Structure 1
């Protein structure tokens, strides 16, 4: 069984998460550390969920 991520309260808007991703990885030529890479992966999952949530609200 896959562990459920902890509830972090209300979801952040996709634009906010995207801005954090951009600050973390300012240029594709920049190599991320393994810790930064793990954070990036979590942010991308959060961003995708936010985008899906925003599309559902708009529909």
Structure 2
């Protein structure tokens, strides 16, 4: 019998926020990183929502 694969734990909103801030470390963001920024903002919003649901 094989065990079902576990999905990796979703990073916390705080961890995602650190990644977002790192993109802006020099005060601007290169155009080629804007897609990554958009993905991170969505992930951050989802993590915030999940953390709020757990707190409720």
Give the TM-score band, short-chain normalised.
Answer: 0.7 to 0.9
Q: Deviations over 1:16-58 (max 9, x none)?
A: 000000001126xx44233210000000000000000000000
Gaps of 5+ in 1: 1-7
Number of aligned residue pairs? 50
TM-score when scaled to structure 2?
0.76
Which one has a bigger Cα radius of gyration?
2
Runs in 1 of length 4+ with deviation above 4 angstroms?
none
Gaps of 5+ in 2: 1-6
TM-score when scaled to structure 1?
0.73
RMSD, aligned α-carbons: 1.6
Aligned position for 1:39:
36
